[in-house]
């Protein structure tokens, strides 16, 4: 079992992080870095995947950017924790469906660490709480090194997530933990991005099969 380096990036524009993911993916392909997990928050943007582009989906009232990850449209913004695994998957791990299921199980386990009961829905990948989708997953691969990842809506603003129609679902299906009333974990701790990140790191080894190293701050363009 190898290690995975944890990079805390804070608030970063999606376009900036998209380029950084490509850079790190190439470095991982070349074995110049170890497996890496980026924890980040983005200013508001809706990413538009290949399927949505092909279908001519128009997103009104939101800033948008095209992306090459799987899936349709996905909201990103303040109060959402995004985890990007730049991981070289071993031969025995090389199944896109199985990797997506690992991420789903990881999100569900992390939520349960916080006292929040979560589950899968066979009709749509991700993690669900109380009948609403709070976690979205979309990946791309090059030489079996993954890029992009999953997002968990923790305390998103207003109804920006709820009003968006995406991934084949009507408005109101997506929401955040805070909108569902989960503002503290089972121990009374504030249910914010810091607590969610902590839970993901605690459950990382079990689901990703890599031992998380001590988190470090991300620096743009630095070889890690």
Give 144's strand partners.
none
- Tens of pLDDT, residue by residue over 45-102, are 999 988 887 877 888 899 999 999 988 899 999 999 999 999 999 999 999 999 999 9
Question: Domains along the chain?
Answer: 3-217 (3.30.930.10)
**Interstrand relation of 145-153 and 80-86 (parallel, antiparallel or unpaired):** antiparallel
Total-model pTM: 0.95
Confidence at residue 49, expressed as pLDDT on a 0 to 100 scale:
87
How many residues are present in the chain?
224
Say which DSSP state 155 is in. S
Residue 114 designated active-site: no
What are the DSSP calls for 23-40, one per residue? HHHHHHHTTSS-EEEEEE
- Tens of pLDDT, residue by residue over 3-62, are 999 999 999 999 999 999 999 999 999 999 999 999 999 999 999 988 887 877 888 899
- pLDDT over 90 percentage in the chain: 82
Note the helical H segments in 88-224: 96-113, 160-163, 193-208
The tokens for 28 are: 């991982």
Long-range pairs, 110-113, Cβ under 8 A, ≥24: 110/152, 110/196, 110/199, 110/200, 110/202, 110/203, 111/135, 111/152, 111/199, 113/199, 113/202, 113/203
Please name the residue that has the structure tokens 């990103």: 76
pLDDT at 166 over 70: no
Least reliable range by pLDDT among 63-67, 146-150, 151-155: 63-67
pLDDT at 104 over 70: yes
């Amino acid at each position: 079992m190898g290690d995975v380096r944890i990079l805390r990036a804070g608030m970063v524009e999606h376009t900036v992080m998209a380029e950084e993911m490509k850079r790190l993916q190439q470095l991982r392909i070349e074995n110049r870095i170890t497996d890496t997990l980026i924890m980040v928050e983005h200013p508001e943007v809706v990413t538009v995947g290949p399927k949505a582009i092909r279908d001519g989906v128009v997103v009104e009232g939101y800033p948008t950017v095209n992306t090459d990850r799987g899936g349709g449209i996905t909201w990103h913004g303040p109060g959402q924790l995004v985890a990007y695994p730049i991981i070289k998957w071993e031969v025995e791990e090389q199944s896109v469906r199985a990797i997506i299921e690992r991420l789903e199980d990881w999100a569900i386990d992390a939520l349960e660490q916080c006292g929040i009961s979560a589950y899968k829905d066979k009709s749509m990948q991700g993690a669900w709480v109380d009948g609403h989708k709070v976690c979205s997953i979309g990946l791309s691969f090059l030489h079996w090194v993954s890029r992009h990842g999953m997002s968990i809506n923790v305390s998103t603003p207003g109804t920006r997530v709820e009003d968006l129609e995406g991934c084949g679902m009507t408005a109101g299906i997506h929401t955040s933990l805070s909108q569902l009333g989960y503002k503290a974990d089972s121990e009374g701790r504030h249910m914010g991005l810091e607590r969610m990140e902590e839970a993901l790191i605690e459950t990382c080894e079990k689901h990703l099969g890599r031992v998380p190293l001590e988190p470090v701050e991300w620096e743009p363009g630095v070889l890690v």
